[in-house]
Every structure is written in structure tokens, then in C-alpha cells.
Chains A and B, each alone.
Chain A
Amino acid sequence: MPANRPAADCSEQLVAAVAEAASQGQPVYISAGGSKRHILGRNCDAAPLDVSAHSGIIDYQPSELVLTARAGTPLVEILETLHQQGQTLPCEPPLFGGRATLGGTLACNLSGPARPWGGSIRDLVLGLQLINGRAERLNFGGKVMKNVAGYDVSRLQAGAQGTLGVITQISLKVLPLPQRSLTLAFELNAQHALDVMHARAGKSGPLSAACWQEQRLYLRLQGADPAVEQAARDWGGQALEPELADKFWSSLRDMTEAFFSGPEPLWRFSVNPTAAAGLTGEHSIIDWCGAQRWLRGEHSLATLQQLARGAGGNVSLFAGGNRDGQVLPTPDPVIARLQLRLKQAFDPAGIFNPGRLYRHDTDALSQGTSQCT
């Protein structure tokens, strides 16, 4: 793990950089740790706007369950601070070798195996500060658990991949670390594993992750001692050694398993958790209790999207393949129009991460302008 960066408030410099970019009409690519540059979105060759120096935890009140940090703060630094107080980020975000930062994690809305129970980073966001395309520093949400004043601009950033502005500061809800953690493994085929996952998830219990790969189902139990012990007794299976279990879940979270290595295209399905195992077959990973499935190989986006659509969800080209081409399914025309108008509201000059989400967003944006005035 890299050493913690010095805490520094560089928001003035970031505002100045955005103002300069806006006045010149010069697009920027927002980055910090660079851990997601080549995954998730499309290639973006704009000049980098480095947020990594804008780092540090600004406020942390364990009894309030709220932490506020600058966007460039590495997640490992945040987790270290939280763990000292017996707390954590329940969405279990990928750390990517320590390079993942808070801002990038929200922009990409990445969550780990705990997602179905611990929620996503989007679910934890209470408020944020953002520099919009007019170089204005804006605050939305707050540092309290409930806040319904104004539209939820904070959560809108989740998955927007920086196309709506430069996130500079985020306030999050944090939760206590579970008292106990135990992983059970079962030798099962994919469909049988899905059936077991849903049977377990349908009853009250300490389930916190459910993943199938290579003919094995892994169920992680987390919570109060008595609850974990009781479930371990009732559910059977083979208990993994704690170290082995930690390694399994962290390599799944950080995508360092062998399954994820190599240049072959990596497809991510986000679908109805009960979709049949045949959707991605026996050579895939089924995570999130069935709601997230990973597939490798040369396929056409359109063909896979048809399958994903039939399973109540979507597919994306998460890594590899042609990253100058289309990586997300073509949105419904009404949604496309709403997205373009939102993009224009936040970033009228189209300077933030052009083309990161969709191939023709800049062209489409100029058409959108004439439509909505």
C-alpha cells in the first residue's frame, strides 16, 4: 500500500483549471489514482485534470456515522481511519492496489461483493461539493443522514464518470464493522448455487456476500457472533480459513483473480438476480447474489444486450475490447434526451470527460442545445 498523501486543499487550483478549460473550450479528463482509466468507460484523450493532490479527510465524527473527505483521498487512507474506530464503508469498494480514490469510486459507482446487503457507494453518499462547467463550486446534500431539499445532485454523480463536473469533496454515511466474519463454501453447479443464494437471502440472516465461480458457491456471513455461529451451524458447507476467505473476497473485489486477467473483453451483466444460470454459462462469475455476472470473450454488445434485456437488466463492456467504440447499450431515446439536457445543465461547454460514457455525446450535445432552448 502506498504511503498516505499529505492532506491539502487544492480546490482553488481546480476551480482555476476548470475556468481556464471552460474559457478555452479545452476538454479535460478528470483523474486521480488512474485505477479506472482503462476500464468501465470509453477512452478519453483530453488533457488530464489531476485531482490527486486534493486529498485528506476533512471531518470524521464516529458517533455521527459521517465522514467527509476530499475527492483525491485514497480509499485505503479512509478505511484505515474508519477501522481504527471500528467502522467501515459497508459497500466494500474496490481498492485497486491502493490507487482507488473516493472521488473516482463515486464517479464510477463501484461497489464490492457486499453490494446487495451493504448498498453501493451511491447509497452511502450524503452530500458533496462539485465544480460545474461554469467553474462554480457548488454544494449539495449535507452531512446529515436525511436531506430532501433540492434534487439529489450528489447521487446523480454516481456512475456519471465525471461527465457532470469535478467532484471535490464527499460526505458519506459509515457503519460499524461487523463483529464476526465467516465464509462457507459449497460444491454446486451455477443454477443450484443461484437457488441456494436466493433461499438464504430470502430469510433473515447474516448473509453479506454470495458468489459462485468454478463450480463453487461462497457465502459470507457477517454480523453479531451469535447470528453468524447459528447460521454456520444451520447452513452446512465448508468453512474457509479466515485468511483464505479474506483473500478470496478481496481479490474478487479488486478484480485481481485470474479470471479477470488478460486482454480478452470483460463483460459485466447487471440483471435480475434470479436470471437463469444459462445467461452467462458455466465459465462466468456470478456475484451479488446473482445480480452481477462477469463473462469473458469476444461477443457483440448488441447480442449480449438482448440477453441482458431479457434478464431485466443491462450489459456493459467493462474492460478490454474496443474502448474507442460503444461500451454501454444504446439508451432509450427519451433517456438519451434527458441525459443530454442534464449534461448541458452541468457542463454547457462540454469540457468534462468528453466521450467517456457515449461515443457521440459532444455531437449529440450540440443537437440537444437546439432542441431544449
Chain B
Amino acid sequence: MKKGSAAQALTALPPIAGPELLRRLQQSLPAHCIIDQRESLRPFECDGLTIYKELPLLAVLPETAEQVQQVLEICHQLSVPVVARGSGTGLCAGAMPHPEGVLLVLSKLDRILDIDPLARTARVECGVSNLSISAAAAQFGLYYGPDPSSQIACSIGGNVAENSGGVHCLKYGLTVHNVLGVELLTVSGERVTIGSQGLDSPGYDLLALLIGSEGLLGVVVEVTVRLLPSPELAQVVMAGFDSVSAAGDAVGAVIAAGIIPAGLEMMDALAIQAAEDFAAAGYPRDASALLLCEVDGTEAEVAADSARVAKLFRELGATSVISSANETERALLWKGRKCAFPAVGRLAPDYYCMDGTIPRSQVSYVLGEIARLSAVYGLRVANVFHAGDGNLHPLILFDASDAGQLHRAEQLGADILTLSVEVGGCITGEHGVGLEKLRQMSHQFSPAELLLLEDIKSAFDPQLNLNPGKGIPILKRCQEYRALPSYHQHD
């Protein structure tokens, strides 16, 4: 996107009618649902990616879907940008506010509406946290599959927006595999049901299009998810290796043996040290790479599979192999991994989490290249890897108070994403494009492909008012587009 044309766009569009907007929102929402004071807006200035910040014109926290509908109608009539936000745990600045727009905070829509144990579904409002769905379903021996590390806080609406995964998605799928339907509000506030209680619906698969669309196509207020029966048993096999390539080979061997683990995670030396300091999970501190492999199913199945996995790990040179003997040990082994981000976060004032996906066979090469880039930029990188599905999370350590370091961290991050695409992977596996990876979109997509994405956006949101400046670069409509200010455009 050219800065010049974006700047022209800002002047070409009519100014936002701030007082009129506030007056009309006050007519529709209770006073405590509107925030328009700068100090009170500060907590909403960013999502989980804190290096990008912006204050919205105002924030609204509606309590019902009908109120959300009214907010959208008003914003549509006044052509005001709307940025939807769930719990704000996103990692791509997808929920960063628009300075001329309304931040639509959906966290108060947090009711679990219905759990149907027989059909194995749950119908919930968009602000319900991921983990609380499983908690509510547990009494029926059921749970919700996708489990992003932020699951204690992240909302199901945000999961839909990002197509969130987690550590169990090789076997149990992403959000797109576990959602049956949504209640969608269009940009103008029309309410429509997408999907059904069956396994498919006639016509175009709008559900697939909406999941992972980063709040650019509509606002989801209600989600029906599929629930899975809780496995009888789960067991984790942990193995240390003295090289990343040996651990990578072991991952390939497990898959080649016909085992689909419930979770298969890799951590490198720096991540192992940090996690062990933080969680004391009993990780081997001397290992260069660590694998955590979870198998689940019936007791007999788990016993057979975990024995096969442990044997494979030993044969492929594991320096240590430990299998969890009970639930407490299993939880402790996972604790280190699930706390890896905050644990690494203690090593430096700031960290920047990347999210490329690569073919599994490339992991050794890619981690070698990341180590080389880390030396070039003079910034440490810890690597956490969803090895089962090839989703790599390099955590770049830096100090944001040093402008030079922030700049180097962003450049190093961009180089890692380019590397991911070069080896046949992609720029984002589960965190989304948001504002952060907008520039890298042109590495992955041709101009014709980007134009089609833009046309899809226009099909849902002709005036481009939903989460403008995020997700997909807008190529052909700069003149009439309320883009983000130029300092967010990184080119």
C-alpha cells in the first residue's frame, strides 16, 4: 500500500461525526457500556502483541447480541470503522483499535446458552472463554478440542476469527473442524445463521470463509461447537535429544509408524532452560531439543502406543525418555510447555512471538537458519514448535525501550517469515495476519490472489469498515479507504 494514497484517502473521506456517533450510541446502550475517556480507553489500546498500539475513538461493551446489532447499524449509517475484540489475547495486532473507529468489545457476551450431550454440541456466546466450554461439558464426559495456549482467557469468538489451533490439532483439528455454525451480524447489522446443526449446509461454505477471517467479514455473536468424548486415558512420553535434527527425525519416525499423537511438541535448548526455571517440570536441562508426545484413547491403546513411541525415541538416540505415570505427572510435563511463552518472557524485557508453519522435514534446516539470523541481528531466539503439524513459534527476545532492538526484532521476525515461505510453508499457522504480517502477505500471494481476497472482503463489507487496515492488503481501493495511519504501514 502506498503511503501517499492512504493519506489522500484519509482526507478524501468525510470526517467521522464523533459527537453524533456518541449521542446515538448513548441512545442505544446503557451508559456503563460506553467508554469515551482517553484514560479509560488505555487498557484497550492493543491485543497480546503489545508493540502495536492505538487508541480508538471510543469503545463499547455491549451486553447482548441485540446491542451489538444496534452498534453495527449506527456505525454503518455513519460509515465508522468497527474493530471487534474478544479477550484481547490475539498475537497479530488484529484487535488493535482504529483511531477513527469504534472498538467493539464482546467480552460481556459470555453466556453458555446450551449444551446438548446427546448431539455433543455446545451453543455459546462469542465472549465465552475456550476453556470454560470444556469445563461446562466435563460433566457429560465431553470437551472442546482446540486448545490454544491462551485457552484460559481467549474467547471462542476470537478463536473463530483466527481459526485457532493449539497443541492437539494434528489429531483433533483446528477451529474450522470443530465449529458447526455461527450467528453472524453483517457490517450493517443484519443477523444471519451460517451453518446448521447438521454436518454441512447447501450452497457456498460461508462458515469456512468466516473462520479465520480476522473480523473482516462480519461479527460473530454466537457459536455452536462440536464436543468430543474425553479419552479414557492420556499419557505423555518426554524425550531429550542432543540435537534438533535427531529430535526432528524422531518426529518423522512417529508419524511414519502410523501413530497420530494427540499432541507432539518440540522445544529447543533456550526454551527448555526457560521452561524448567519457570515450571520445574523435570525437563532435561542438558538436552538440545525436547519432545513431548501425548497419546490418548482407551487404556489398552495408550499402553501400546506409548510403548511404541518410547521405543522409537530410544532407537533414534534420545538421551532421556520418561513416560508420565499418572495425571499429575502428565499435567506437570505439559505445564512446562504451556508456560513456555511467559517463561521465555522472563529472559528479556520483551519477546516477539512468530508463527510460521513449515514442512516438518525442514525443521532442522529452519532452526539452523534462525540460529544464524539470531547471531546476525544480535538477538536471542527461543523456539517452541508444534512438531506434529509443523507450526513453529520462534520467540525473539529484545528490549522495546531500545528503538534499535525493536526494529531489529521486527526485521528478524520478517526474515523468519520469508524463510518459512521459502521452504514451502506459510507466514502464519494460527496467529493470523492482523496488522503485523500485512506486508508479508505479498510474499505469499500474487497481486491477482490479493485482489480476489479483496473482492471477497468487498462482498461482505463493500465500504471496508470492518477492521480496516488488517488481514489483507487493500490494493485497488486506497482512494476511498479509511486505512490505518501511515506510521502503522511499515513500508
Residues of A whose CB lies within 8 Å of any CB of B are: 61-66, 86, 109, 115-116, 119-120, 122-123, 132, 134, 136, 138-140, 142-153, 155-156, 158-160, 164, 175-177, 179, 198, 201-206, 223-227, 229-231, 269-274, 288, 291-292, 311-314, 316, 328-329, 331-332, 334-335, 338-339, 341-342, 344-346, 357, 372
Contacts and interface: CB of A to CB of B under 8 A. Distances in A.
Nearest to A165: B452
B256 A63 contact: yes
Contact of B204 (A156, A224, A291): A156
Given A140-B449, A159-B205, A270 B196 contact: yes
B453 interface: yes
Contacts of B459: 338, 341-342, 344-345, 372
A193 to B, nearest CB: 14
B141 A150 contact: no
B255 A63 contact: yes
B441 A150 contact: yes
A174 B91 CA distance: 29
B192 A159 contact: no
A144 B422 CA distance: 13
Contacts of A223: 297, 301
Contact of A138 (B140, B199, B452): B452
A202 B458 CA distance: 42
26 contacts: A62-B255, A64-B359, A120-B199, A120-B200, A122-B205, A122-B208, A144-B357, A144-B389, A146-B390, A150-B433, A150-B472, A151-B456, A152-B163, A153-B453, A153-B456, A155-B209, A177-B258, A202-B117, A202-B141, A205-B298, A227-B298, A292-B199, A314-B201, A314-B202, A345-B459, A372-B458
A64 B426 CA distance: 15
Given A155-B205, A156-B204, A164-B204, 5 more contacts: A140-B449, A270-B196, A312-B198, A314-B201, A357-B202
Contact of A230 (B300, B305, B452): B300
Contacts of A316: 202
A329 B198 CA distance: 15
B118 A145 contact: no
Contact of B361 (A61, A153, A198, A274): A61
- CB-CB nearest 9 A-B residue pairs: A312-B197, A226-B300, A155-B208, A313-B198, A341-B459, A345-B455, A145-B389, A146-B429, A270-B198
A223 B305 CA distance: 12
B229 A204 contact: yes
Interface string B295-334: 0011011011100000000000000000000000000000
Contacts of B205: 109, 122, 155-156, 158-160
Interface of B: 116-120, 140-142, 162-163, 165, 169-170, 173-174, 176-177, 186, 190, 192-194, 196-206, 208-209, 211-213, 217, 229-232, 252, 255-256, 258-260, 297-298, 300-301, 303-305, 357-361, 386, 388-391, 424-433, 437, 441, 444-446, 448-449, 452-453, 455-460, 462, 472
A159 B200 CA distance: 9
B106 to A, nearest CB: 20
Contacts of A145: 169-170, 357, 388-391, 429
A270 B256 contact: no
Contact of A342 (B204, B361, B445): B204
Contacts of A331: 202-203
A339 B204 CA distance: 7
Contacts of B428: 147-149
A346 to B, nearest CB: 7
B203 A335 contact: yes
B300 A202 contact: no
Contact of B197 (A64, A115, A224, A313): A313
A65 B198 contact: no
A346 B192 contact: no
A271 B432 contact: no
Contacts of A109: 200, 205
A142 B176 contact: no
Contact of A159 (B170, B203, B252): B203
A191 to B, nearest CB: 13
A144 B462 CA distance: 32
Interface centre among A65, A132, A134, A201 (most CB of B within 10 A): A65
A179 to B, nearest CB: 7
A128 B441 CA distance: 17
A116 B425 CA distance: 29
Contacts of B169: 145-146
A297 B202 CA distance: 21
A339 B198 contact: no
Q: Which of A152, A329, A346 has the most CB of B within 10 A?
A: A152
A227 B208 contact: no
Contacts of A150: 433, 441, 444-445, 449, 453, 472
B60 to A, nearest CB: 23
